[in-house]
Structure 1
C-alpha cells in the first residue's frame, strides 16, 4: 500500500512538472528546463520509461543530459534568469511588502544568481 502511494506521488510530480514545462514552451517568462529537470528526476524514482523518453527527446533531451552529466547551464539561460530575478526584486522593492520580505527575497535571489553563474556552461 505504501509503495503504491509513493509510486503514485512520484508519477504525479513527474506529470505535473512535465505539464508546467510544456506550458513554459509557449508562455514567455515561464521556464521550461527547470520543470523538465524535476520531471526527469521524479520519473527516475517512479516512472523510468518517462525518464528515458525525456532524455531521448530531440528538443528536451540535450539540456537534460548536459545538466545531469556536467551540471551545465547555457549562458543565455543564465542571462534570462538574472534579468527575471532582478525584475522580481525591483517590483518587490516598489511594492508595499514588509521590509523583512524584501530583504529576505533579495538576499535569496542574489545567492541563487551567484550559484547559477558559477555553474559550467555548455
Structure 2
C-alpha cells in the first residue's frame, strides 16, 4: 500500500467513525467517545488539520481531551458499556449452543474489559488546593 493510499484509507476511517460517533450523540445506547477516539487516531496518522479540528471541537473535543489528559471514561459511557456486555453475555448464554469453553473465554474477556472500564476515573480529578 502506498503512503497516499494509506492516508486516504485512514481519512475515510476517521470520517466514518466521526459519523458513527455523531450518531451516538442522539442514540443513548451508542457511546460517542470510543468512536471519536478511533477517528482521532486515524486523523493523527493522516491529517494534522483534521486531528486538531476534532481534538479542539466545541462538542467532541472535551471528552477526547479528558481521555488524553486524565484517562477518563464518563459514567454514562461506563453504564452503557457494562450493561451492553451483560445483556450480550446473557443472550449468548441463553440462546446459543456455544461450547462451555467459548462461553468461558467470552466471559473472561468481558470481565477484563469491564475491569478496565471500572478502573478508569469517571471525571477529571479536582485540582488540589495548597
Please, what TM-score do these two structures have when normalized by structure 1? 0.90
Contact persistence 2:13–2:39 (CA under 8 A): yes
- Aligned ranges 1:33-112 → 2 under 5 Å: 33-99=33-99, 100-112=101-113
RMSD of aligned C-alpha atoms? Answer: 1.6
34-43 or 81-90, larger mean C-alpha shift: 81-90
Tell me, in whole angstroms, the C-alpha distance in 1 between the residues paired with 2:44 and 2:95.
41
Q: Highest Rg: 1 or 2?
A: 2
The structure carrying a bigger helix percent of its residues is: 1
Determine the structure 1 residue equivalent to 2:126. Answer: none
The number of residue pairs the alignment matches comes to: 122
- Aligned ranges 1:9-48 → 2 under 5 Å: 9-48=9-48
SS at match of 1:94: helix
Structure 2 residues not aligned, in runs of 5+:
124-130
Tell me, in whole angstroms, the C-alpha distance in 2 between the residues paired with 1:101 and 1:16.
31
Tell me, in whole angstroms, the C-alpha distance in 2 between the residues paired with 1:26 and 1:73.
18
Deviations 1:54-82 (A, max 9, x none): 12222211100011112111223212211
Tell me, in whole angstroms, the C-alpha distance in 2 between the residues paired with 1:37 and 1:97.
35
Deviations 1:65-120 (A, max 9, x none): 01111211122321221111111111111112412432222211111000111112
Determine the structure 2 residue equivalent to 1:116. Answer: 117
Tell me, in whole angstroms, the C-alpha distance in 1 between the residues paired with 2:30 and 2:78.
14
Tell me, in whole angstroms, the C-alpha distance in 2 between the residues paired with 1:98 and 1:83.
21
SS at match of 2:82: helix
